[in-house]
């Protein structure tokens, strides 16, 4: 009888989201005739540290505390606490304040709760019945996985261990293999074809020689057969199996946590990035060798949504794709809208969706997006290789606000060739749009591993590229080349406006966020009669009203979508009053003129626009 494969997902992850990797690998192995058992061990970390702290740690911070907590268990003592606590003190205090804890509590978690949790993991499962233990590693799961692998090897030295997942690109994978003797294999790349073959060879006592995607040891030397090829036909991937996650959600006690959030089921409908194939954004480190875009047919996505909804009674989904396939606008969301379903979906999208497309997608269940907005400056967007405009991004933010699509966008700074005016103009713009959803965050762009800033530093005026100092406290230098095992990096950059040039923009974003969270929330809206619009402006706390009728009302409505002077001239037959009316709207901050286009800022009160 074939021994099953144990599939493990360690902290530090949010309990709201099942591990998609475990959910997909189980049916993938079973299709090949290999039994598999997932273990969502991250779902049992909350009882050891408190769910509030567990959830706070699940976010990825520059201090990488979700990894640091496991470093001593993974590698022993190799770095002093003082240096880490001094370097990241404010960040750690903010995390603790969020969870109602102290930095001293973090040290107790590291020294007491982590070892106790590892003992729980080792002792509560009969690992001897498995022929292979596989760890799925994404962000902030690396050191917890190494720590448990080390503990398992001490108790069960003959059980082979493999690691894989998004955290393992070629260079990082090789460093983990060389520095972690408890790890017998690392898989790199898409696993659908090569992972089942690896298990079959392992169970048959055959060599891994020539099998793509595998790093393994041959007489003590690490051998790499090259990254596994990208899966071409996404329609072949099965519906994920989350049965074990729901069991762990109950058994781990998360459902009794007062801050418990409802499940958002992950689905995968595409891999790679069709935009990145053409224009790789300068700061993006995702995909790398997997950039080639591949998507499921819309009919297959609908079938998967139906399967998962019926099986788990959950209608809320998080598409983990790096970018949405354009054909899903009509093929997926159009069909969902026609069927009047209650399914809700989150997607990462290009910020080029029109008002009509957003309206259709909202009717089809799009409740949240993560778009690549990044800036309202066309010049800065060009430097990023975004090939879009500030005005297009503003239109997206406007209509997402109107259609109540949660818009998780960011504003980024620090690109070679930027001008102070690029940021001053955005600072002047922001108070005019406080009634639209603000950015999730504003930050300096990073040179993440795999990004053009990292791979082609000379083209991006990048110098002094060095790994984040957090890695000094995560990996011992005598065992790892930190330049190769790190994903996050710091750097200097020439031809930028400098730190002081960003302060005003960051402050403007923070004010916008505060006002959006406050009550009453800022508003700028208009109600429409037959030929008259009534504008109500409550953006600055004082309600102001204006009435426009006839042609001026028509002009304002026509500019609900950004319009060029040529379009305006055609629509209003070159009437001389148009220029005067536009100037008045712009002067009163009811409209903006950007990139040669005019856009009305007020949102319609009518919910059917």
For the chain, give me the number of helices (H) and strands (E)?
A: 25, 24
Give the model confidence (pLDDT) of 421-442 as tens digits: 999 999 999 999 999 999 999 9
φ, ψ of residue 424 to 5 degrees: the values are -60, -40
Write the DSSP symbol of residue 502: H
> Rounded mean pLDDT of 360-388?
97
* Partners of 366 in the β-ladder: 345
pLDDT of res. 319? 98
Write the DSSP symbol of residue 563: B
**Spatial CA neighbour of 99 closest among 12, 21, 40, 25:** 12
- Cα separation, 182 vs 185, in Å, equals 9
* Residue linked to tokens 């793509």: 212
pLDDT of res. 169? 81
pLDDT over 80 at 204, yes or no: yes
> Hey, what are 563's tokens?
């319009």
- Cα separation, 264 vs 463, in Å, equals 41
Cα-based angle 590, 593, 595 (whole degrees, multiple of 5) = 150
> Hey, what are 242's tokens?
């989350």
CA 497 to mean position of chain CA atoms? 28
pLDDT of res. 551? 97
Residue 541's pLDDT band (boundaries 50, 70, 90)? confident
* Partners of 600 in the β-ladder: 591
Give the model confidence (pLDDT) of 79-129 as tens digits: 999 999 999 999 999 999 999 999 999 999 999 999 999 999 999 999 999
Please tell me the total number of residues recorded for the chain in this structure: 609
CA atoms within 13 A on the CB side of 303: 10
Give the model confidence (pLDDT) of 133-188 as tens digits: 999 999 899 999 999 999 999 999 999 999 999 889 889 999 999 999 999 999 99
3-state class of 591 per DSSP?
strand
């Amino acid at each position: 009888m074939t021994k099953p494969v144990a599939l493990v997902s360690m902290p530090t992850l949010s309990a709201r989201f099942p591990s998609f990797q475990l959910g997909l690998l189980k049916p993938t192995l079973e299709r090949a005739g290999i039994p598999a058992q997932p273990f969502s061990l991250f779902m049992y970390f909350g009882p050891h540290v408190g769910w509030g702290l567990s959830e706070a740690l699940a976010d990825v911070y520059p201090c990488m505390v979700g990894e640091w907590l496991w470093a001593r268990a993974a590698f022993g003592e190799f770095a002093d606490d003082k240096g880490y606590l001094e370097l990241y003190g404010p960040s750690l205090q903010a995390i603790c304040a969020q969870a109602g804890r102290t930095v001293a509590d973090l040290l107790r978690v590291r020294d007491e709760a982590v070892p106790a949790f590892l003992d729980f993991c080792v002792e509560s499962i009969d690992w001897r019945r498995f022929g292979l233990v596989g760890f799925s590693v994404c962000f902030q799961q690396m050191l917890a996985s190494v720590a448990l692998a080390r503990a398992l090897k001490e108790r069960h030295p003959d059980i082979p261990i493999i690691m894989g997942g998004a955290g393992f690109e070629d260079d990082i994978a090789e460093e983990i293999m060389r520095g972690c003797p408890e790890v017998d294999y690392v898989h790199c790349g898409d696993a659908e074809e090569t992972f089942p073959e690896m298990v079959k060879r392992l169970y048959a006592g055959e060599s891994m020689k020539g099998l793509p995607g595998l790093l393994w040891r041959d007489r003590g030397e690490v051998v790499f057969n090259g990254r596994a090829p990208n899966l071409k036909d996404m329609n072949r991937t099965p519906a994920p199996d989350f049965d074990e996650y729901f069991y762990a959600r109950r058994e781990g006690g998360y459902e009794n946590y007062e801050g418990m959030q409802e499940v958002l089921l992950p689905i995968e409908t595409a891999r790679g990035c069709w935009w990145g194939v053409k224009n790789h954004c300068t700061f993006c480190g995702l995909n790398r060798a997997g950039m080639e875009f591949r998507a499921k047919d819309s009919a297959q996505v609908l079938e998967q949504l139906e399967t998962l909804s019926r099986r788990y009674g959950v209608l809320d989904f998080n598409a983990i794709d790096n970018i949405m396939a354009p054909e899903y606008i009509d093929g997926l969301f159009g069909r969902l809208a026609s069927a009047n379903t209650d399914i809700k979906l989150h997607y990462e999208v290009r910020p080029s969706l029109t008002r009509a497309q957003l309206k259709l997608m909202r009717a089809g269940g799009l409740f949240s997006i993560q778009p690549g907005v990044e800036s309202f400056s066309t010049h800065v967007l060009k430097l990023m290789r975004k090939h879009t405009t500030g005005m297009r991004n503003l239109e997206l933010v406007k209509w997402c606000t109107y259609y109540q699509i949660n818009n998780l966008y960011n504003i980024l700074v620090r690109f070679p060739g930027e001008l102070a005016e690029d940021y001053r103009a955005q600072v002047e713009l922001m108070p005019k749009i406080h009634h639209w959803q603000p950015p999730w965050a504003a930050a300096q762009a990073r040179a993440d591993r795999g990004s053009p800033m990292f791979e082609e530093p000379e083209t991006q005026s990048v110098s002094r590229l060095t790994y984040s100092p957090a890695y000094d406290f995560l990996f011992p230098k005598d065992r790892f080349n930190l330049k190769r095992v790190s994903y996050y990096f710091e750097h200097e950059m020439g031809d930028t406006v400098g730190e002081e040039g960003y302060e005003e923009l960051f402050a403007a974003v923070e004010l916008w966020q505060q006002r959006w969270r406050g009550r009453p929330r800022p508003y700028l809206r208009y109600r429409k009669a037959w030929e008259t619009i009534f504008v109500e402006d409550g953006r600055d706390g004082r309600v102001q009203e204006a009435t426009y009728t006839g042609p001026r009302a028509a002009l304002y409505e026509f500019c609900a979508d950004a319009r060029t002077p040529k379009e305006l001239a055609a629509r209003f037959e070159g009437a001389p009053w148009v220029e005067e009316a536009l100037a008045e709207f712009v002067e009163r901050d009811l409209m903006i003129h950007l990139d040669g286009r005019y856009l009305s800022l007020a949102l319609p009160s009518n919910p059917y626009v």
